[in-house]
Structure 1
Amino acid sequence: MDKARQKNLPAEERRNVTVEAVIELAATTNPGDITTAAIAKHMQLTQGALFRHFPNKEAIWQAVMSWVAERLMSRIEKAAKGIKSPLEAMQAMFMAHIDFVSEHPGAPRMLFGELQGAKATPAKRLAHALLKHYAEHLYELIDAAKSCGELPSGLDNQAAATLFIGTIQGLIMQSLISGDMEQMRRAAPGVFAIYRRGIICKEFEG
């Protein structure tokens, strides 16, 4: 976005552009090393212009986590909507999550960075809330799958949800390490198929 146009952006749009700039920077820079000066430079603005919309760096990070949480949950919920089979809905969520991260590789780096931090910042609380909301959505689908006979009644909901999220995180980490975000998309269908076979095991029958 050119500098002249940025000067005329409404306040809310300017905040969104700032958040997107941080996520873009996080795709190639350690989130802990991203300064407000670097953000302003990336946006071709002064730090003064940046702080007209955010009181401090912590507020920017909080806005970033809110952006990630809202858009990720919207993406996965939309993907699962209208799918009658709970297991198929879970697969749609899995693939939608992978697609989201592939499009915004800075998002998981920001999320992991906040969760690893020692301080209980507003951004970290948002990251925890995102994971809690995500898990609760999975619990609902797992219960529905049990009710319709797609999953065994004795399956541990928390363990199944933890494995679902952890499997995605593993794919993300491997792609970030390799520098090939498309690796996730290539691997995701086969990985989910293995996950699915694991949770439908009859050994979990109650």
Structure 2
Amino acid sequence: MPVKRHLTAEQRRERTVETVIELCGQEEPATITTGEIARQMGVTQGALFRHFPSKDAIWEAVVDWVGKRVMQRLDAAAAGAGAPLEALEAMFMAHVEFIAEHPGVPRLLLGQLQHARPTPARRMVRSLLFLYRERVEGLLLRAREAGQLRAGLDLEAAALQFIGSIQGLVIQSLMAGEVGRILDQAPGVFAIYRHGIAADGEEHP
């Protein structure tokens, strides 16, 4: 969608970010050029670089946009739930819903992690994953303190499995070319995850 001429500089930067995410949903992120981004927005490359000093700066802005919105969505979902295991489920589903709304995000993040050089955007993705795992481990710790987890559960492994379950859903949906399918599959996947970590009587809320 061509960018409107009356947009402010901040709105143009946000529209650039949204355009990159849209393009990531259609093709491999590594193949996206600034020329393609500009064409998609209906502006020149010169206009694009008035708001971003380099292509790396564009990717940094995109990762920052994703990170802030993902964490806001997850934190809001967890805060609105009751017990810790219910908060974990709310986070799981909120993440899946975000991916369904922005199917270019998984390609974007995976593309940055596979980058050959340690770019600022790649470091930001790694920091985001660390922050995400901390959130999950924090809820698991609360669940253990509330007696919701089975005895002896390895919290670090459980956090990794939580993240891995979402990643598995994403990979399967990308292979099938139907990212929206994860909305239907996610409840069953989380039910299996919950069964594996929950104390007796906590498998089903």
Unaligned runs of 5+ in 1: none
C-alpha distance in structure 1 between counterparts of 2:26 and 2:64, whole Å: 21
Question: What is the one-letter code of the residue matched to 1:138?
Answer: V
Question: Which residue pairs with 1:184 in the alignment?
Answer: 182
Question: Which residue pairs with 1:19 in the alignment?
Answer: 17
C-alpha distance in structure 1 between counterparts of 2:45 and 2:112, whole Å: 23
Question: What is the one-letter code of the residue matched to 2:90?
Answer: A
2:2/2:43 contact within 8 Å kept? no
TM-score of the superposition, structure 2-length normalised?
A: 0.94
Match of 1:127 among 125, 129, 153: 125
C-alpha distance in structure 2 between counterparts of 1:201 and 1:85, whole Å: 14
| 2:27 is the alignment partner of 1:39 | no
2:151/2:199 contact within 8 Å kept? no
Unaligned runs of 5+ in 2: 201-205
Question: Which residue pairs with 1:140 in the alignment?
Answer: 138
C-alpha distance in structure 1 between counterparts of 2:88 and 2:78, whole Å: 7
2:169/2:182 contact within 8 Å kept? yes
Moved more, 27-36 or 73-82: 73-82
Give 1:201 deviation, angstroms. Answer: 5.8
> Deviations 1:77-101 (Å, cap 9, x if unpaired)?
1111132210000000000000000
Measured on the aligned residues, the alpha-carbon RMSD in Å equals 1.2
C-alpha distance in structure 1 between counterparts of 2:106 and 2:124, whole Å: 13
Question: What is the one-letter code of the residue matched to 2:177?
Answer: G
C-alpha distance in structure 2 between counterparts of 1:68 and 1:182, whole Å: 18
> Deviations 1:9-49 (Å, cap 9, x if unpaired)?
11111111000000000001100000000000000110000
Identity across aligned pairs (percent)? Answer: 53
| 2:196 is the alignment partner of 1:198 | yes
Q: After the TM superposition, which residues 1-206 of structure 1 pair with which residues of structure 2 at under 5 Å, given as runs?
A: 1-3=1-3, 5=4, 7-200=5-198
1:160 match: secondary structure? helix
2:2/2:40 contact within 8 Å kept? no
